[in-house]
Chains A and B, each alone.
Chain A
């Protein structure tokens, strides 16, 4: 494996670089889109169930099918990375919109009511009170979405753009174990590092959660 790595470091690094941005760009885009959608699911309760159902159906579309379809719908080239980014953004939105809605719904009504009673207007209450209190739930969803995206990117290799996934297809075609193993390990490591990064961010931005264990 070491030999493989030293002989193919260029290829592996290029695959890793592509993997990182193919996975993480959709997380950012998806998060930005999911926030307002999730909020709508709370602001207008009748949207909540449709939102959950649509998200569920979107998430059950096989990634391979979505990767293949988007060029037809978007008019992009089949080998364009945009297909992967858009597909993963859709999954991220499907996952996070529900998490954002659930997180906001989990905020104790006593807390939102006392904010209102103290004279918060709706928007500032959302920014100052509801979002911060929902943040642990939302960030937990972000961890899931990030890790899932990192492992999903490799399926893109079946249509020619898949970061570390290209190491899988290459190894598979040549019946050669090393590249597959390197790809799997790097992919898992990348997911672990990204996950850890979010955990550390969460610790830093939600210090109060450390004390909530003992509360009934």
Chain B
């Protein structure tokens, strides 16, 4: 086991198919697509449940139900049903992304001091204004932590896409394993972990940027 694969300049050629940058980009592409689709689905639902309190049961259990789905099984199931391609991979990854975002949107709204929400109504805000001007900004810290854990999970799990013949950093793991090239496997693992940490840092930075400093003190 050594780092020779990772530090071989030939593997960093952006033009070459199967090079680390190319795999990294396709990996990132799956991650971003899954996060985007998952957020579009989960955020409104989570906010609705949190705002109205209706359907709390779904929100509370979505987290654990989603975690209990084996991604590899789901992925292979989708590929068997829909054939090879980006779609089955995206479905499997999106299913992974939805629960943490939904649950944290719900938990973020529920954790708010009811007096503050009451005060917002008291000064004459309409329900939509209460949600967008008071509840959402105040729930952001919890919401962002859910989004960050969704990101960490999907970055690590997107490697499984390689098991059904797609690209992404999982190629380094699967192909390396197939030819007993542990240096390649190590390169894949390191790049995935670094990617996860970097994305988390970016999100942590974004969180500092968008969360009101007034909320930072108590957290």
Q: Which residues of A contact B (CB under 8 A)?
A: 56-57, 59-66, 68-69, 72-73, 143-144, 147-148, 150-155, 157-159, 164-165, 167-169, 171-172, 175-177, 180-181, 183-184, 187-188, 191-192, 195
Name the residue on B nearest A72 (C-beta).
B1
Q: How far is the CA of A191 from the CA of B73 in the complex (A)?
A: 14
Q: Pick out which of these stretches binds chain A: B15-23, B118-126, B158-166.
A: B158-166
Given contacts A68-B185, A168-B73, 15 further A-B contacts (CB under 8 A): A56-B152, A60-B200, A62-B189, A65-B189, A144-B64, A151-B71, A154-B70, A159-B177, A164-B70, A165-B73, A168-B77, A175-B80, A177-B77, A177-B81, A191-B64
Chain B: residues with Cβ within 8 Å of the partner, total of 41
Known: A62-B157, A64-B173, A172-B164. A158 touches B72 (CB 8 A): yes
Known: A147-B64, A147-B68, A165-B73. A65 touches B152 (CB 8 A): no
The answer to the question of B31 belonging to the interface, with a C-beta cut-off of 8 Å to chain A, is no
Is A172's CB under 8 angstroms from B80's CB?
yes
Name the residue on A nearest B186 (C-beta).
A69
Name the residue on B nearest A167 (C-beta).
B73
Name the residue on B nearest A159 (C-beta).
B177
Which chain A residues lie closer than 8 Å to B173 at the CB level? Answer: 62, 64-65, 68
Report 24 cross-chain contacts, Cβ distance below 8 Å, ordered by A residue. Answer: A60-B152, A60-B193, A61-B189, A61-B192, A62-B159, A62-B189, A64-B160, A64-B163, A64-B173, A64-B174, A65-B159, A69-B182, A151-B67, A158-B163, A165-B73, A169-B76, A177-B80, A180-B80, A181-B77, A183-B70, A183-B73, A184-B73, A187-B68, A191-B67
Is A158's CB under 8 angstroms from B174's CB?
yes
Q: How far is the CA of A176 from the CA of B64 in the complex (A)?
A: 28
Is A143's CB under 8 angstroms from B68's CB?
no
Is A154's CB under 8 angstroms from B80's CB?
no
Is B68's CB under 8 angstroms from A64's CB?
no
Name the residue on B nearest A174 (C-beta).
B80
Main secondary structure of the interface of B (DSSP, over half): helix
Is A56's CB under 8 angstroms from B70's CB?
no
Which chain B residues lie closer than 8 Å to A154 at the CB level? Answer: 70, 72-73
Which chain B residues lie closer than 8 Å to A176 at the CB level? Answer: 80
Is B182's CB under 8 angstroms from A72's CB?
yes
Which chain B residues lie closer than 8 Å to A183 at the CB level? Answer: 70, 73
Is A184's CB under 8 angstroms from B74's CB?
yes
Which chain A residues lie closer than 8 Å to B193 at the CB level? Answer: 57, 60-62
Is A64's CB under 8 angstroms from B170's CB?
yes
Which chain B residues lie closer than 8 Å to A68 at the CB level? Answer: 173, 176-177, 182, 185, 189
Q: How far is the CA of A150 from the CA of B80 in the complex (A)?
A: 22
Is A62's CB under 8 angstroms from B170's CB?
yes
Query: What 10 pairs across the A-B complex have the smallest Cβ distances?
Result: A191-B68, A65-B189, A60-B196, A184-B73, A172-B76, A62-B159, A154-B70, A151-B70, A62-B156, A168-B73
Is B197's CB under 8 angstroms from A60's CB?
yes
B178-219 CB contact bits vs A (8 Å, 1 = yes)?
Answer: 000010011011001100110010000000000000000000
Name the residue on A nearest B172 (C-beta).
A65
Is A171's CB under 8 angstroms from B197's CB?
no
Is B160's CB under 8 angstroms from A187's CB?
no
- With both chains docked as a complex, state the minimum distance between the C-beta of A168 and any C-beta of chain B, in angstroms: 5
Which chain B residues lie closer than 8 Å to A195 at the CB level? Answer: 64, 68
Which chain B residues lie closer than 8 Å to A164 at the CB level? Answer: 70, 73
Q: How far is the CA of A73 from the CA of B197 in the complex (A)?
A: 23
Name the residue on A nearest B74 (C-beta).
A184
Q: How far is the CA of A68 from the CA of B192 in the complex (A)?
A: 14
The answer to the question of B102 belonging to the interface, with a C-beta cut-off of 8 Å to chain A, is no
Which chain B residues lie closer than 8 Å to A155 at the CB level? Answer: 70-72, 160
Name the residue on A nearest B63 (C-beta).
A144
B145-159 CB contact bits vs A (8 Å, 1 = yes)?
Answer: 000000010011101
The answer to the question of B3 belonging to the interface, with a C-beta cut-off of 8 Å to chain A, is no
Which of A56, A59, A60, A73 has most chain B Cβ within 10 Å?
A60
> Within the complex, which residue of B68, B159, B186 is in contact with A188, where a contact is CB–CB below 8 Å?
B68
